[in-house]
Amino acid sequence: MRSLLTILAIWAAGLGAAAQFGKMSVVYPTLEQVYAGPSTVAVGLILSVVGLVGLIFGTTAGLWVARIGPRRVIVAALLLGAGASLWQSQFPPYGLMMLSRVVEGFSHLAIVVVGPTAIAGLAGVRWQGAAMTLWSSFFGVAYAILFWLGPRLVLADGPASLFFAHAGWMLVCAVVLFLLLSPDRRAAVAAGGGSLMAQHLAIYASPFLAAPAMGFVCYTVTYVAVLTLLPAMMGEAGGFIGVAMPLVSIVLSLTLGVWLLGRMRAVHLVQAGFLGAILCTVALWLFWGQGAAVILALGVAGCLGIVQGASFAALAELNPDVEARAKAAGAIAQLGNLGTVTGTPLLVWLVAQAGEAGLALFLIGFSAFGIVIHILQARRRQAFST
């Protein structure tokens, strides 16, 4: 029971980490009013800088979690996140707001690296796939809750109330996890492995540490971009698609995805999810503008949702050691942010050049790339074991 409560508490911390992005989306109109002086791009950076921290320091965070210990890191990160939200509730001058978001970027990064690392160890082999899939849902669930409750809270009590609520959530999670998580072992603090650059190269050279992240970037580069642009391309059905796609993705991942993880290896399920996305995309392209297109668009979202959950399950499956999981989680954070940052601009360009054909080729190309990456990495793992 303690392990289950701890897993749920870590997942709740993940919801708080996702809200570090989502809360700014909810109050974006207020940000535009308060920071009217900077350009629109400068205001947009308030939202995106958290992800840029992960893009730059993702793998570094994995190395430091392995050295310092997950309990110390996640509790400190949650307290740091709570403090940042309290400061942001005052809507300080632009420079100070950006500084708080950089601080929050490190808080977010630490949580998303510790989360899968700790959950994989707590779940045990039998429930590992289900627990990692639950973790993978934190971003979608947090956004759904925020865009349901956030505007109501802001309307009733003002935008600062959303930051107060977030700070309270992070603080409660910090206290609960301090009490539930076991103290870090002394060995976790030990340094090693050569220079920082050498350790980065070692992570990406390993077919065990790097494989989940290299497949995951093919998911993030497509999912966020498609979720952003596809609804606008679907005409009258766009409103429904925009709401239904993330929900279908989460539900299918937590149901069919978990069931399949009990019957096949996580890496194989990642490949199957990508293959399903390719087949749905081809059908969507063929039936574009017809009634079946809506169902096929939801099929794409569902298949990519399975990829998401199975990618985190593969992280645990391929890396049974706690230190290795922390490093692999850092790589997922880094490459995941790379996909999120680059996917939407690339898809915007492709759609401008080729319309729905550009969208289809974008999805098919990166999904096929994800399958090929896992085939090559599997062959490298076989070579390591022989």
Structural contact between residues 132 and 116, judged by C-beta atoms closer than 8 angstroms: yes
Query: Which stretch of 3-17, 111-125, 301-315 has the lowest confidence by average pLDDT?
Result: 111-125
**Interatomic CA distance for residues 324 and 210, integer angstroms:** 10
Q: What is the mean pLDDT of residues 305-319?
A: 90
Block residue for tokens 């399903």: 276
Q: What is the set of domains in the chain, with CATH numbers? A: 2-129+137-181 (1.20.1250.20), 199-385 (1.20.1250.20)
At residue 344, the 3 state secondary structure works out as helix
Q: pLDDT for 83-110, tens place per residue? A: 999 999 999 998 899 999 999 989 998 9
Q: What residue type is 74 in one-letter code?
A: I
Which among 245, 252, 214, 247 is positioned nearest to 229, based on CA atoms?
245
Instruction: Report pTM.
Output: 0.81
- Residue 373 clears pLDDT 90, i.e. is over it: yes
Would you give the distance in Å from CA 108 to the centre of its chain? 11
- Residue 281 clears pLDDT 90, i.e. is over it: yes
**Interatomic CA distance for residues 329 and 275, integer angstroms:** 24
Q: CB pairs under 8 A, 24+ apart, for 367-373? A: 367/218, 367/222, 367/274, 367/275, 367/277, 367/278, 367/281, 368/274, 368/278, 369/218, 370/215, 370/218, 370/219, 370/270, 370/271, 370/274, 370/307, 371/271, 371/274, 371/275, 373/211, 373/214, 373/215, 373/218
| pLDDT band, very low/low/confident/very high, at 196 (cuts 50, 70, 90) | low
* % of the chain with per-residue pLDDT over 70: 95
* % of the chain with per-residue pLDDT over 90: 37
